[in-house]
Structure 1
Amino acid sequence: MSAQDGRVQRHDEEEDFSTAGIAESPNAWKAVWQNNKGMFLILLSEIAGSSMDAIVRFLQQGGHGMHPFQVIFARMGITFILSTIYMWWTNVPDFPLGAPSVRGLLILRALFGFGGLFCLYYSVHYLPLAEATVFRFLVPIVTAFACSVLLGTSFTRKELLAGLVALVGVIFIAHPSSIFGSVDDNIDTNQAGAVDDVTPAQRLVAIAVSIAGIFGASGAYTTIRIIGGRAHALLSVNYFAMLGTAGSALALLAIPGIGFSMPHGAREWGLLVFLGVLGFVLQFLLTAGLQLDKSSKATSMLYSQIVFALLFDWAIWGVLPGAWSLFGGGIVIASTLWVALQKTGPVAKSPAKDVAVDEESALLGSSRVEGGEQVFERRASISA
């Protein structure tokens, strides 16, 4: 057979495939994105969250040093403006204050959230980002226990065991001298914007504040569970942002010795604005990702935040947690990840009208059917 005949035959075969409806294979990268879109959006949200923590630490340590209340004011103020515009543009039901029956709960959620956020921003001033991030992995277990007491949801022995093991991990992170002896774990670098010396007392206070922040975040998430579908998710976010803005402004004006200091230079102005924008981006990406994929594979991406925190600690400040802290952090992450990836029952069908979720309520649990009744399964929740 001549070369020309071969070309004609191949052309005829291509036409046969075309007429048979066999299309060319899709781009491999595009297929991976389409099949794992929710997971990738959650991963991007964790990058945004870790970037926010790094900006917060830099603003408090670099230059003239900003007070945590001023950083909260900037972040929450911009998030409030953006979320308000978004809710107005999309005609969110009961905008802007929500239904009268849940306004008190929304305020309570905002108060808990504000307390948890302040504790987080205070702790990152004295702790490496990775250590401060690890404490947030305790929030789901505390919230699960609170929901079991207040709402009657299940709290299994496995969750109790994981909580006790995680507390052991916290002890290793704190490594008090009364148990571990003298351990040199101070943050001591010569890079710009780093803490030159953190005393053991300051470190222990920061850890105590981090633990208090766990209860603040858990209180916020438990309140969100009580609210349920009676308020749009963005209303919860907006109450949090509004109270955070007003509360931090009042603290800056009323507490002696703090005051409001103007940012120094274009860099600090830019970081403050970027911080607020990232806060809204975090909410948007995480909510979108969880709406697309609520599987364990997707929610496990939340644990990637500790990796990004370690990278920021090393790249910006040239520090990493000590051996005891890394060991304790590994215990906390392993115990909470073990609970988060437990096999659940069949997922209940969604109601006819979808209820919007936010980063907190979506991570706290998805519903499943057990014994003819709808109960809730806890999931890992990190962001305040």
Structure 2
Amino acid sequence: MPILSPGVGLMLAAAVCFSTGTLFIKLAGMGLPPMEILFTRSLIGFFYCFFLLRGTGHSIFGTKRLYLALRGLLGFGALFCMFSAFILLPLADATVIFFAHPIFVAILAAFLLKETLGTRGVFCIGAALAGVVLVARPSFIFHDASPLDPAAVGIALCAAVLSAGAIVTVRFLSRHEHPLTIIAYPTMAVLVLGPLLDSTSWSMPTPTEFLYLLAMGILMNMGQHLMTMAYQRERAAVIAAIGYVEIPLAALFGALVFGDMPDIWTYAGAALVVGGTLFLGQVRKAGA
């Protein structure tokens, strides 16, 4: 009898892919701009989705194209901010802040989809947001702590908010479109808009940087595909919980490769973010 269910095993593999991919994002970002890194990830992702969709009877362009375009734009913004945050912040801190996105999903769903939160839901949101504050350590609150760069923290928060918006659109699109079609649209948005918005700072990668880009693109897209399959085989609450494995992996990579040792504020903030979002999922499931 297997120790892990297929869904849990797939999500663990996805978490390893994502965490290792973010390591290569940061390594590539030491010499290349975020948009160039994101463009490479998206180029690999587009062909990844295109070839997997062949023979399925589904078009990569889908049918609900207005909503797909909105999902693509939100995903593009979220990915660009996320890549920038991974480059600008320690991996563990950037990962913790980004993993607050379920909180923003709940807030957006309450306003846009009229989903109720209840008192316990509001408390969970407050706890998770307090965790983000502990990680960011703004100087006007933590006078003696070493604060993170406020601009970089803002970029990481933008990634979480835009990701939440993209997830809300996915909830609608998942009833009408193939998962790979939904995944493909952010890659198409990047391929079209990326060079238009920022290509002047791009440079020819060195052989080492090229390997970083190739590894990053393959790992991030494999992680996305594995996560999609995991959600098809296991309850969403279980898969979301397994995804938090990325936080200790990010801390480990940051410490081993860059010497970024998380401090007590990061640990405490991570506990509040993880606890708040996990309990929020249980509260919403119970309809409280």
Alignment of 1:2-151 (within 5 A): 31-33=1-3, 36-61=5-30, 65-92=31-58, 95-99=59-63, 102-151=64-113
Over aligned residue pairs, what C-alpha RMSD do you find?
2.0
Q: 1:151 to 1:228 in 2, by over 3 A?
A: farther
The aligned runs of 1:240-319 (5 Å cut-off) are: 240-253=186-199, 258-265=200-207, 267-294=208-235, 296-319=237-260
Whole-angstrom distance in 2 between the partners of 1:219 and 1:338: 21
Question: Counterpart of 1:97 in structure 2: which amino acid?
Answer: F
Q: How does 1:77-226 map to 2 (within 5 A)?
A: 77-92=43-58, 95-99=59-63, 102-184=64-146, 203-226=149-172
> Which structure has the larger Rg?
1
C-alpha spacing 1:237/1:297, structure 2 compared with 1 (3 Å): closer
Matched-pair contact (CA < 8 Å) for 1:138–1:163? no
Cross-structure match for 1:19? none
Greater CA drift, 215-224 or 331-340 = 331-340
What does 1:324-343 align with in structure 2 at a 5 Å threshold?
A: 324-342=265-283
Which moved further from structure 2: 42-51 or 211-220? 211-220
Could you give the per-residue CA deviations for residues 24-77 of structure 1, whole angstroms, max 9, x where no partner exists?
Answer: xxxxxxx225x522111101100101111111011112xxx1000000000011
Q: How many Å separate the matches in 2 of 1:229 and 1:38?
A: 21
Partner amino acid for 1:51? T
User: Shift in Å at residue 122 of structure 1?
Assistant: 1.2
What whole-Å deviation, never above 9, does each CA across 1:310-331 have from its counterpart, x for those lacking one? 1111111122222222222221
TM-score by length of 1: 0.70
CA distance in 2, matches of 1:150, 1:340: 18
CA spacing shift, 1:260–1:325, aligned 2, 3 Å: same
Asked if structure 2 preserves the Cα contact closer than 8 Å seen for 1:151 and 1:226, the reply is no
Contact 2:12–2:243 (8 Å) recurs in 1: yes
- What is the distance in 2 between the residues matched to 1:52 and 1:86? 21
Out of 227, 238, 241, the residue aligned to residue 173 of structure 2 is: 227
Separation of aligned partners in 2, 1:342 and 1:137: 18
Query: Structure 1 residues 328-337 or 114-123, which shifts more?
Result: 328-337
Q: Is the contact between residue 121 and residue 283 of structure 2 (CA under 8 Å) also seen in structure 1?
A: no
What per-residue deviation string (whole Å, max 9, x for no partner) do you get for residues 173-209 of structure 1?
Answer: 1212222214346xxxxxxxxxxxxxx6xx1110011
Aligned residues: 288
- Structure 2 unaligned regions, length at least 5: none
* Whole-Å separation in 2 of the counterparts to 1:107 and 1:212: 19
Whole-angstrom distance in 2 between the partners of 1:297 and 1:239: 26
Deviation at 1:290, TM superposition (A): 1.8
> Quick one: which amino acid aligns to residue 198 of structure 2?
L
CA contact (8 A) 2:254 2:260 kept: yes
What amino acid maps onto 1:236 in structure 2?
Answer: I
Higher relative contact order (CA 8 A, sep 6+): 2
TM-score, normalised by the number of residues in structure 2: 0.93
Tell me the distance in 2 between the aligned counterparts of 1:116 and 1:333: 20
* Kept after mapping to 1: 8 A contact 2:98/2:160: yes
Q: Distance in 2 between matches of 1:68 and 1:293?
A: 34
- Where structure 1 has 5 or more consecutive residues not aligned to the other structure, the ranges are 1-30, 186-199, 346-369, 371-376, 378-384
Q: Distance in 1 between matches of 2:224 and 2:87?
A: 24
Three-state SS of the structure 2 residue aligned to 1:144 is helix
Give the distance between the partners of 1:155 and 1:245, measured in 2 at CA: 37
Offset of 1:153 from its aligned partner?
Answer: 2.6
Amino acid corresponding to residue 164 of structure 2 in structure 1: S
